[in-house]
């Protein structure tokens, strides 16, 4: 948070929605009734209609936009945790590996589409058929668990995005409110900032809860289209303003460490893989293309652009603010109305995006739960689950109010599994019975092992940071205003 996955931000939001929503029966019925179902549910894919198909350029735009979320705003702090040399190099390597894993997923999905004569295969079903194709009888008999595991990690990822969003909303609004009396129109002469004490950041999180609760009760996806458009516009404008600011007046970087402490590197890994979590978008986008034969080339180009953007924002942000970089780079912007408006724009964008990210786990959990109750209870149960889930994300955000640690936890736990661990294992199980070179098997095993190590160490380090923090329970704000 693949601080913002828009995400993708949204760090994978498009793919996750399109991928998962194809499974539940209630969703399929809704698709038949609502022709823009696939379009409206994601802020990243307006106009993505299967009947017409999308061009290669549109696919590229959707792929890039699907990664532009809160995650990119946390990359400068991630680079700090790795070092000014190690950080960008690691982002380059992770971008290459993430792109390679996406190609693996596409290749395996195409393999099973040809074998089973199906036009489309989503992430979960690709993993299930991959296990069925493995030589192990035990894996074949338990292949359905592969689909369940993917669904589980997608739920964790999306709810994690929602938690990140709540922390982001609270931090940025708190900072704007506390500095409002000192905010000026002169961005180049902004030295003295007198903060006006306000309520605890956790109370800001609670203040957003009624708004979020009302938003998640909106079940008409046509209505959500306007939220998608508003989120895209506000985030795009914000990123342009942020980039032009951090590219100016970069101080001498000689004091910055080339390689940071190995103890903080796992936090870098979690945040970085959170930002690269967009593997769910590849199969739905390929399925919507007029000519899917060019998709691998477009995927490579799109991931190259994304990687360059991530390295640029991460490195420039750390160079610009050095050791004072905050969990979200928006918290380092000057105290003038131009840059305060960036925070407000991003607040609007993330607020609009929350309900879109929330839709994925809701569409997995709610149809299953409704099928277990009498028909007359369907609507009350639906609404109750939505309210319970939004309250859960708020509670989790309050319990872990540090934005950088939320990003690292979500990235380490679920994003590493979806983006790094599962795809290489999927390739082995899919093709091992047909013959694979030892080099390919060794390569896939190495990627999965690296992903698993990142999963374990990143999760441990993020939790350890929370446990060792003496002011964890008394912290009034997860970030400090940069003067």
37 burial class (0-12, 13-18, 19+ CB within 10 angstroms)? Answer: middle
Taking the C-alpha atoms of residue 419 and residue 426, their distance in angstroms, rounded to an integer, is 12
Q: For the chain, how many helices (H) and strands (E)?
A: 20, 0
Taking the C-alpha atoms of residue 254 and residue 412, their distance in angstroms, rounded to an integer, is 31
Each domain of the chain, given as residue ranges in start order, spans 13-468
The per-residue pLDDT for 417 is 87
The per-residue pLDDT for 330 is 83
Please identify every stretch of the chain with a pLDDT value under 70, giving residue numbers as ranges. 1-52, 65-66, 69, 182-196, 220-229, 277, 469-483
Taking the C-alpha atoms of residue 274 and residue 10, their distance in angstroms, rounded to an integer, is 10
The per-residue pLDDT for 362 is 85
Which tens digits make up the pLDDT trace of 233-262? Answer: 887 888 888 888 888 878 888 888 899 988
The per-residue pLDDT for 193 is 57
Query: In the beta sheet, which residues pair with residue 184?
Result: 336
CATH topology of domain 13-468: Amino acid/polyamine transporter I (1.20.1740)
The per-residue pLDDT for 63 is 79
Task: Give helix 422-431 / helix 438-468 axis angle, nearest 10°.
Answer: 160
Tokens 């290489």 locate to 424
First vs last Cα of the chain: how many Å apart?
25
Taking the C-alpha atoms of residue 30 and residue 239, their distance in angstroms, rounded to an integer, is 35
Query: In the beta sheet, which residues pair with residue 289?
Result: 54
């Amino acid at each position: 948070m693949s601080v913002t996955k828009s995400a993708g931000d949204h760090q994978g939001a498009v793919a996750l929605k399109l991928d998962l929503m194809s499974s539940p029966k209630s969703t399929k019925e809704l698709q038949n009734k609502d022709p823009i179902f696939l379009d409206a549910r994601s802020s990243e894919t307006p106009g993505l209609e299967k009947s017409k198909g999308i061009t290669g350029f549109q696919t590229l735009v959707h792929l890039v936009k699907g990664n532009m979320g809160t995650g990119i705003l946390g990359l400068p702090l991630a680079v700090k945790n790795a070092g000014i040399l190690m950080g960008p190099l690691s982002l380059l390597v992770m971008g290459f590996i993430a792109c390679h894993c996406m190609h693996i997923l596409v290749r395996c999905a195409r393999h099973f589409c040809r074998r089973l004569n199906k036009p489309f295969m989503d992430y979960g079903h690709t993993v299930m058929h991959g296990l069925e194709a493995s030589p192990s009888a035990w894996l074949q008999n338990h292949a359905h668990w592969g689909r369940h595991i993917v669904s589980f990690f997608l739920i964790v990822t999306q709810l994690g995005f929602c938690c990140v969003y709540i922390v982001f909303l609270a931090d940025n609004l708190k900072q704007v409110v506390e500095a409002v009396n000192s905010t000026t129109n002169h961005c180049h002469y902004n030295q003295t900032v007198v903060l006006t004490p306000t309520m605890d950041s956790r109370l800001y999180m609670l203040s957003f809860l009624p708004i979020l609760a009302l938003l998640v009760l909106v079940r008409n996806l046509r209505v959500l289209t306007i939220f998608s458009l508003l989120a895209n516009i506000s985030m795009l404008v914000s990123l342009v303003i942020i980039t032009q600011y951090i590219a100016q007046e970069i101080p001498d970087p000689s004091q910055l460490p080339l390689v940071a402490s190995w103890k903080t590197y796992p936090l870098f890994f979690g945040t970085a893989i959170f930002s690269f979590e967009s593997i769910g978008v590849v199969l739905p986008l390929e399925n919507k293309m007029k000519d899917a034969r060019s998709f691998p080339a477009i995927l490579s180009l799109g991931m190259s652009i994304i990687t360059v953007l991530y390295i640029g924002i991460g490195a420039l942000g750390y160079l610009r603010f050095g050791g004072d970089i905050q969990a979200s780079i928006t918290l380092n912007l000057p105290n003038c109305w131009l840059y305060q408006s960036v925070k407000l724009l991003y607040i609007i964008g993330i607020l609009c995006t929350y309900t879109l990210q929330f839709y994925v786990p809701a569409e997995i959990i709610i149809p299953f739960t409704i099928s277990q109750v009498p028909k007359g209870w369907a609507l009350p149960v639906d609404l109750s689950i939505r309210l319970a889930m939004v309250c859960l994300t708020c509670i989790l955000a309050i319990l872990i109010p540090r934005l950088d640690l939320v990003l690292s936890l979500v990235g380490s736990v679920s994003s590493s599994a979806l983006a790094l661990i599962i795809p290489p294992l999927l390739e082995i199980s899919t093709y091992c019975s047909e013959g694979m070179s030892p080099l390919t098997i060794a390569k896939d095993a190495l990627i999965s092992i690296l992903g698993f190590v990142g999963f374990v160490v990143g999760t441990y380090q993020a939790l350890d940071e929370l446990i060792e923090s003496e002011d964890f329970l008394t912290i009034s704000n997860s970030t400090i205003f940069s003067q």
